[in-house]
Amino acid sequence: MRRLSDLITGWRWRLSPDLDLTCSCCGSDRFRKDRVLWRELIDEWQLSPAEVDYINLQQGVACRECGVNLRAGALAQAIMNGFGCTRLFREFVADESFQHLAVLEINTAGQLSQYLERLPNYTFVEFPDADMQNLEFEDGAFDLVVHSDTLEHVPQPVRGLSECARVLRTGGLCAFTVPIIVDRMTRTRDGLPPSHHGTSENPKDYRVITEYGADVWKDVVLAGFRECRFSALHYPAAIALTGVK
């Protein structure tokens, strides 16, 4: 099978010259890069060349040692920021101080899942089999809810986030990522042709409901969280959000 990067020749692709990377999970400084966007998705999303560049960075630059990409690395950083940890994520999940955390992961957060599942009180559910708008867990069951590039596919994203808030204990965190086009405002794809994320070989996976922009924080606040925090591992390519209950 041909690599996805071989299918997208002709599009701009560059690693930012100021991108001095260390993996926030394992500490490696060895990274690979792959293109992830294809022409149809770029056209549907109406991306500029600069936006193509940073989305490719976000999704396609990954640690050669543990496989965590920039998106998941930003999510790891957001989780550690929320719990006051300044070390590597592999050390965070092994630290006795955090072994008590009850964690719910909705959908795999890329290669970050290999670290999250090391926590003793870890629960995983798969989207869309598990409906984020109606989670089958009791109120206040978790300390941390994690999801990555999933919310944009949820029909009622505020409802989905409010369910994340409901299953969190007071002071708990919902750490997540969505693809953010930072110089736009959020829009729904109502009235627009269907657009899907996934791969160029299977582009009908994951229909997009919401395209997020600079006002992404509004959904977090509308869902009932008392705070919305941003963690920028590498702006604008790698940004994660944290809702604090």
Give the CATH number, domain containing residue 141. 3.40.50.150
Residue 46 lies in a domain: no
Find the mean pLDDT for residues 94-105. Answer: 98
Q: CA-to-CA distance for 73 and 110, rounded, in angstroms?
A: 10
Is the confidence at residue 194, as pLDDT, over 60? Answer: yes
- Residue scoring higher pLDDT (205 or 6): 205
Residue 193 lies in a domain: yes
| Burial of 111 (C-beta count, 10 Å sphere; 0-12/13-18/19+) | middle
Q: What is the pLDDT of residues 149-186, one digit of tens each?
A: 999 999 999 999 999 999 999 999 999 999 999 999 99
Residue 171 lies in a domain: yes
Predicted TM-score (pTM) of the model is 0.90
Range of the domain at 210: 96-228
Q: What is the pLDDT of residues 33-85, one digit of tens each?
A: 998 999 999 999 999 999 999 999 999 999 999 999 999 999 999 999 999 99
Residue 16 lies in a domain: no
- Split into its structural domains, the chain has a count of 1
Tell me the backbone φ, ψ of residue 108, rounded to 5 degrees: -75, 130
Residue 80 lies in a domain: no
Q: For residue 206, name the pLDDT band (cuts at 50, 70, 90).
A: confident
Going by C-beta distance under 8 Å and a sequence separation of 6 or more, which residues neighbour residue 37?
A: 8, 11, 47, 52, 55, 56, 59
The pLDDT, as a whole number, for residue 201 is: 54
Is the confidence at residue 204, as pLDDT, over 90? Answer: no
Residue 219 lies in a domain: yes
The pLDDT, as a whole number, for residue 93 is: 98
Q: What is the pLDDT of residues 134-146, one digit of tens each?
A: 999 999 999 999 9
CA distances from 204 to 25, 92, 169, 229, 234 (A): 31, 37, 36, 32, 29
Residue 61 lies in a domain: no
Could you tell me what percent of the chain has a pLDDT over 90?
A: 83
Residue 148 lies in a domain: yes
